[in-house]
Amino acid sequence: MVDSLTPETINAWADDARGPVALCLKQKLQSVEGEGSVIFPPTYADIGYNIDTLSDGTKVALIDSVGSQANRMEPIFKRKPFSELVPQIEIELQNKEHDGEQHVERRSLLDLAHRSADAVVYSCPELAPEMARAFRALRQHGDAQRLCQLAPTSLVFGFWDSRGESGEKHPRLVRSIIRAWNVQPLHTAAQFNSVWKVLDEDQREQLDKESKAKKIKLSEKGFADAPATFRKTRISQYIDGSPNPEARVLGGVLTSEPIERVVTVNLVALRSIHGADEEKTKDVRRYLLALTLIAATAEIDLFLREGCHLRYADNDRWSAIPRRGEIQPVESLSSEEAPRLLLEYGAEAVKPFKRGWPQKLTYKFDLKEAKKLLAKKSEDEESAV
């Protein structure tokens, strides 16, 4: 058991190749409505909920995916005090005057879906070359220092430079996912009642004629009653004359067992990252581990979507996973002091990189560059020619 969280402990996790291969957190979650409640998982095109049936008949529902969890965790670095640990790069998408007022639309690099490898980044004439140089240094020399100075969370949450010349791909250092076990899928139905019955015959006739001319259903514009019993899917709505449950409107899942969030810190992937020399390699790994642990231990909001509002239902259970042998509890990562200690560690770890942060933090999106990106062939397209 790791009894205390000290800089020496964290350094060992980052530096010692014989140390744990991973740190793992397991959290029990619960609907704010209590046990045995109905919650709504995310829906996906054609399949609806992502529910797997195990060999014993148990149904497991995906409540929040790895990518979605990363998108919830990364923005914590926009807020103080964590914002002091990473450069706050923003991209100006629009700057227009509207009704006598100047309207400026910006996006933080921490909000972009593909992070430093996002198409918007490659559409910024001043930022794109900087990112390209950082990717090349990582690809050709294994040196992550420049990327740590520009976009360190890209290394923490993973990226793929699929649009750039490097093609560099880096795994996530922290991975989080939420699943609900032993669920029962439910369905729902709704009925929209319009003012159609109140309209006179002439009004109905003219609206009906206009909808046919425009090839638009009256129900789509709210002028006809519309039952909602089936969802839009390729699946047949009826089987042998009976409603097909697989095509019904989804009504959430009934949970009978705890919902579980699992967070994994990949120390093997962390130790594969290097700097220009041995000392800088230590700096890189310790800095990235600081960001990773802060993200992994942060209590993110669990209002995941309408109908899926969760809470933390039990104490966190952190473990250190050795290459071989017994798994060790790490209760110190769950202590009340952990956030403060990690923040202090991070404030020291960022110092070698803060000196190299870009002086300019706002970059402009260029439509011409975006068009060039659209015209550029991918590696797959070029190999097919």
Q: Where a domain ends, among 236, 253, 270? A: 253
Burial of 281 (0-12, 13-18, 19+ CB in 10 A): buried
Q: Where a domain ends, among 253, 275, 296? A: 253
Q: At 328, is the secondary structure helix, strand, or coil? A: strand
Look up residue 11 and give its two tokens.
């350094």
Same domain, 92 and 222: no
Give the pLDDT of the chain (385 residues) as one tens digit per residue. Answer: 566 899 999 999 999 999 999 999 999 999 999 988 999 999 888 788 899 999 999 999 999 999 999 999 999 999 999 999 999 999 999 877 777 777 888 999 999 988 999 999 999 999 999 999 999 999 989 999 999 999 999 999 999 988 788 888 899 999 999 999 999 988 787 777 888 888 888 998 999 898 899 888 887 788 887 767 777 777 776 787 777 776 777 888 999 888 999 999 999 999 999 999 999 999 999 999 999 999 999 999 999 999 999 999 988 999 999 999 999 999 999 998 999 999 999 999 999 999 999 988 999 999 999 998 888 765 544 443 3
Same domain, 288 and 196: no
Task: Compute the Cα dihedral for 361, 300, 173, 118 and give only its sign.
Answer: negative
Q: Helices H, strands E: what count in the chain? A: 12, 23
Put the strands of the sheet holding 362-364 in their side by side order.
Answer: 101-108, 90-98, 362-364
| Cβ pair 285, 271 in contact under 8 A | yes
pLDDT of residue 190: 73
Please count the structural domains in the chain: 2
ω before 41 within 30° of 0 (cis)?
no
2 in any annotated domain? no
Residue type, 170: H
Same domain, 357 and 335: yes
- Characterize the bridge pairing of strands 90-98 and 362-364: parallel
13 in any annotated domain? yes
Structure letter (DSSP) for residue 249: P
> Which residue range(s) make up the domain with 238?
186-253
Closest to 158 (Cα-Cα) out of 224, 215, 114, 97: 114
Which residues are CB-contacts of 153 (< 8 A; sequence separation ≥ 6)?
A: 74, 77, 86, 110, 115, 291
Q: Count the Cβ atoms, other than its own, within 10 Å of residue 223.
A: 20
pLDDT of residue 92: 92
Same domain, 220 and 263: no
Q: Please state, in angstroms and rounded to a whole number, the distance separating the CA atoms of residues 21 and 4.
A: 19
Q: Please state, in angstroms and rounded to a whole number, the distance separating the CA atoms of residues 328 and 163.
A: 42
Q: Please state, in angstroms and rounded to a whole number, the distance separating the CA atoms of residues 331 and 320.
A: 10
1 in any annotated domain? no
Same domain, 67 and 103: yes
Q: Where a domain ends, among 253, 271, 301? A: 253
Same domain, 143 and 46: yes
109 in any annotated domain? yes
Same domain, 146 and 88: yes
Burial of 220 (0-12, 13-18, 19+ CB in 10 A): exposed
